[in-house]
Amino acid sequence: MVAEITDIFSQGFWLSMEEGEHFMSYENFPWFKDQPLKAVIHVDQPAPGYLYWPDIDVDL
Q: Other C-beta atoms within 10 Å of 15: how many? A: 21
Mean pLDDT, residues 39-45: 95
Looking at the structure of the chain, the number of domains it has is 1
Give the whole-angstrom CA distance, residue 31 versus residue 20: 22
Q: Which tens digit of pLDDT belongs to each residue from 5-29?
A: 999 999 999 999 988 999 999 999 9
Indicate whether this model's pTM tops 0.95.
no
Q: Residue 37 is part of which domain span?
A: 4-59
